[in-house]
Amino acid sequence: MHCKIWNTFIEVTVGLLSLTVASGGMSPLPAQRVQQDNMEAAVGGVVSMVMQGLGECRLLLVTSTPVTDMLSHVLSELRDGGSGGVVVMEDTSSLSTSLIVPRLTRDGGAACWTLVFFLAEVPDTDDILNNKREGSNNTSGTDGHNEGGRKDINASFKNSNQDIKRFLEKSGLWMLPETRVLVVGWDTSGTLLLQHPSLRNIRHLFLLLLLPADKGRTVELYRRCLFCSTRERGTELLLREKATLQLHVKQRLLLGRLVNLWGSLLTVITMDYFPHVDYHRSPNHQPGGKVLPKDCLDFRMVDAIASHLNFSYVVREPPDGQWGVRDDSGHFTGIVGSLEREEGDLSMVLTPTPDRLEVMDHSRIYGEGAFVIISLKPRPATQHWAFVKSFRDELWLTLLSMVVVWGVLLWAMLKAWTWIRVDREVRWSSLTSAILYGFGALLEDPPHPPPTNLSAQVMVGWWWVLCIIITTAYRSSLISHLTVPGISRPVNTFDDLLELEGWSWSAEIGLLNMADRDFFLGSPSPVVREVYRLMEFYTLEDALQKVLKGRHSFITWKNYIDVRIASRYSDARGITPLYVSNKRYPIFGGYSWGFRRGAPFLDAIKRLKQCLLESGILTYWLSDVIKQRVRETRKNSQEGQDASVTQALLPNLGSGEVVLGLSHLQGVFYFLFAGFVVSLITLMCEQAFTHTNTTREVAAITKG
């Protein structure tokens, strides 16, 4: 495991000069600047802190100077105390990579890490003043030397700890709020390091000061308070005593689970998306301004969690009014961009995509995100041609063929009978008469009596049996079509959209600024990509109006559209002309809450949110929120209902009785008119043919 830490840390940090696993190969260096008793006291303070409260995790010791006496003693004591897995970084000046600690945490194989920063050891002021007096010929007074000494001390502290600050800037500690950090300093100036931006999210941050005193040194131990009862960050003094080999810390160093935010104010960045999010805008609302929450699912969740964790929140819209996609600069817009820039603490109802997870954290999925297709409900088929549609096309063709074939066979049989029985005459023996008799029998009105010979009568008899069966089936089918007309095919899938001719579909304009757009663009299915290519974009109201006009579908989100249909596009009985496809297209994993990276309250909110999920109350809240909104919106639904909705509902508002009218049988009249036209054309052709023959006969007689 130690070799693994070595390989990982060498790969991550170019400036790593030494990796030391506590062992006996490291002997203390001769003491030069720190007296033996003070050094042992300092060692005792550091080792006590590590072993008592912070030693459960793997250790990373960072110093900006070469291995000193004190650090050598610390390593030796840690070795004797049984602490293993210690990484020592002596030089941070050549670091060229970023996010050191997150990668070390991921690849190092440890559940947690404790970082100890050793600030530069600054000599006591009296020692510096004595050295200056010995090597200076200046005759100034003591006060002047004291001022110069203080300036040298401050400059030395500032310059010697730049490497520590450089390490913090590239460490990525702000992403790991549960990392334990101990800063070991020799002067009160060490408190400035606690204000470094990289430590802004660290919950377990300690400062151990080894201050000079009259006899030996004094140890002061501070803990930075991230969430305090005063609602402001501050430092808490845990211990002040004379430095010895053992610190006497009487209280627990680590804070444990975060259960109280002490009234901290969190900023929620979100957009309107009922039933998850809903709010009021003030009359003078500006982009990115505050909004007033209304009753909805996510704000019920936030209220429950806030009352338990003791925090308040303010809700804002993103300045650009977008959910969040990458722009040309590589950064995100909208809500995700606000979290990326840490302008907000958390957001709601976001889809966690791989790109978004690079710049934000998220909690567990709690809501289903699925696309559905909204179309007009399948309508009754037009009954103009019900008398034709009572039989399928192939059945009509079969009947027509059978009539012609039967007429030809009957005519052939009559011809054969007259050839055999030359002494007998046939009542009708033309081909036209035989075919017309077959049609007449099918219509139950033969044009003339059947033939007199027995064989032909047998054939006609079986034809009559067939005609009775066909006509009976036709009557029953026609009655059923007129009584319960067939309905058009519902649109349930994207394949149905592409198969329909003259059909269009659309989505809401906001889809272009959402991660849901990647559902179409990144889909491996060519059908999904083709649907997006032909997709139109409208506002919600415009899209639904086009749906009500027919031959148009609207692709949208399931929960989002269910509320709108129930409240705005249904009558008092809950009947709606709109049809929601039974096929759902899940959008990635669903919806979750987004958080700024390294938010120290993330685990606490995730834990309580998990409790809400497991209790099943979210399902009840979602149903209750929808019902309340529908009741509020439909109080005067009949008066305020859109005219197009009322018109679309007309077929469903009748008494249920159907009276045959012209709309049902006008196809028969069309067929009759077509028969007259065909008869007229036939008459004209017959007259033209007769006139041609007469002309030829007259011409032949004249020539003769």
Of the given ranges (76-80, 455-459, 597-601), which has the lowest mean pLDDT?
76-80
Q: Cβ neighbours of residue 242 under 8 Å, at least 6 residues apart?
A: 41, 213, 216, 217, 218, 219
pLDDT band at 152 (very low <50, low <70, confident <90, very high): very low
Do the bridges between strand 204-212 and strand 180-185 make them parallel or antiparallel, or are there none, so unpaired?
Answer: parallel
Domain boundaries, the chain: 2-135+150-242, 258-367+590-633, 369-379+489-589, 391-483, 665-704
The residue that leads in pLDDT, 699 or 358, is 358
Token pair in block for residue 354: 């791989």
Backbone angles phi, psi at 358, to 5 degrees: -75, -20
The SS3 call for residue 274 is: coil
Residues composing the chain? 704
Residue pair 480/472 in contact by the 8 Å Cβ criterion: no
What pLDDT score does 12 carry? 34
Q: Inform me whether the pLDDT recorded for 150 exceeds 70.
A: no
Whole-angstrom CA distances from 337 to 245, 269, 333, 512, 588 are 51, 10, 5, 16, 20
Residue pair 164/119 in contact by the 8 Å Cβ criterion: yes
Closest by CA to 481, choosing from 660, 656, 669, 673, is 660
- Cα 434 from Cα 336, distance rounded (Å): 82
Degrees (nearest 5) of the Cα angle 372, 620, 594? Answer: 65
- pLDDT tens string 74-85: 666 565 555 545
- Cα 442 from Cα 461, distance rounded (Å): 12
Q: Cβ neighbours of residue 646 under 8 Å, at least 6 residues apart?
A: none
Q: Do domains 2-135+150-242 and 258-367+590-633 have the same CATH topology?
A: no
Of the given ranges (130-144, 205-219, 658-672), which has the lowest mean pLDDT?
130-144
What pLDDT score does 116 carry? 84
The whole-number average pLDDT for the span 658-674 is 69
Residue pair 278/607 in contact by the 8 Å Cβ criterion: no
Token pair in block for residue 546: 């086009």
Closest by CA to 400, choosing from 415, 412, 414, 388, is 388
Residue pair 293/321 in contact by the 8 Å Cβ criterion: no
- Cα 548 from Cα 555, distance rounded (Å): 14
The residue that leads in pLDDT, 446 or 497, is 497
Of the given ranges (266-275, 567-576, 613-622, 637-646), which has the lowest mean pLDDT?
637-646
Residue pair 362/599 in contact by the 8 Å Cβ criterion: no
- Cα 177 from Cα 183, distance rounded (Å): 16
Closest by CA to 587, choosing from 425, 365, 266, 316, is 365
Q: Cβ neighbours of residue 132 under 8 Å, at least 6 residues apart?
A: 145, 148, 149
pLDDT band at 310 (very low <50, low <70, confident <90, very high): very high
The CATH code of the domain at 258-367+590-633 is: 3.40.190.10
Q: Cβ neighbours of residue 205 under 8 Å, at least 6 residues apart?
A: 181, 183, 194, 199, 223, 224, 226
The CATH code of the domain at 369-379+489-589 is: 3.40.190.10
pLDDT band at 421 (very low <50, low <70, confident <90, very high): low
- Cα 332 from Cα 348, distance rounded (Å): 16
Residue pair 243/217 in contact by the 8 Å Cβ criterion: yes
What pLDDT score does 592 carry? 93
Q: SS in 3 state form for 37-99?
A: HHHHHHHHHHHHHHHHHHCCCEEEEEECCCCCHHHHHHHHHHHHCCCCCEEEECCCCCCCCCC
Report the share of the chain in percent with pLDDT over 70: 71
- Cα 581 from Cα 495, distance rounded (Å): 12
**CA dihedral for 196, 199, 203, 204, sign (positive or negative):** negative
- pLDDT tens string 160-175: 577 788 888 888 889 9
Of the given ranges (34-43, 66-75, 253-262, 458-467), which has the lowest mean pLDDT?
34-43
Q: What are all long-range contacts of 132-137, with beta carbons under 8 Å and residues at least 24 apart?
A: none
The residue that leads in pLDDT, 180 or 429, is 180
Which helix (H) or strand (E) segment holds residue 704: the answer is none
pLDDT band at 579 (very low <50, low <70, confident <90, very high): very high
Token pair in block for residue 107: 């690849």
Q: Inform me whether the pLDDT recorded for 96 exceeds 90.
A: no
What pLDDT score does 379 carry? 76
What pLDDT score does 604 carry? 95
- Cα 437 from Cα 445, distance rounded (Å): 9
pLDDT band at 128 (very low <50, low <70, confident <90, very high): very low
- pLDDT tens string 290-308: 999 999 999 999 999 999 9
Of the given ranges (220-234, 532-546, 596-610), which has the lowest mean pLDDT?
220-234
Q: What is the distance in angstroms between the CA of the first residue and the CA of the last residue of the chain?
A: 126
Query: Which DSSP state fits 246?
Result: S
- pLDDT tens string 546-576: 999 889 999 999 888 988 888 888 877 778 8
- Cα 434 from Cα 428, distance rounded (Å): 8
Assign domain 2-135+150-242 one CATH number from 3.40.50.720, 3.40.50.1110, 3.10.450.710, 3.40.50.2300: 3.40.50.2300
- pLDDT tens string 237-279: 888 887 766 667 777 778 888 999 999 999 999 999 999 999 9
Residue pair 206/178 in contact by the 8 Å Cβ criterion: no
Do the bridges between strand 504-508 and strand 552-557 make them parallel or antiparallel, or are there none, so unpaired?
Answer: parallel
Angle between helices 100-107 and 2-12 (to 10 degrees): 150
Q: Is the pTM of this model over 0.75?
A: no
Query: Which DSSP state fits 29?
Result: P
Find residue 507's DSSP bridge partners.
537, 555
Report the share of the chain in percent with pLDDT over 90: 27
- pLDDT tens string 17-28: 232 323 233 333
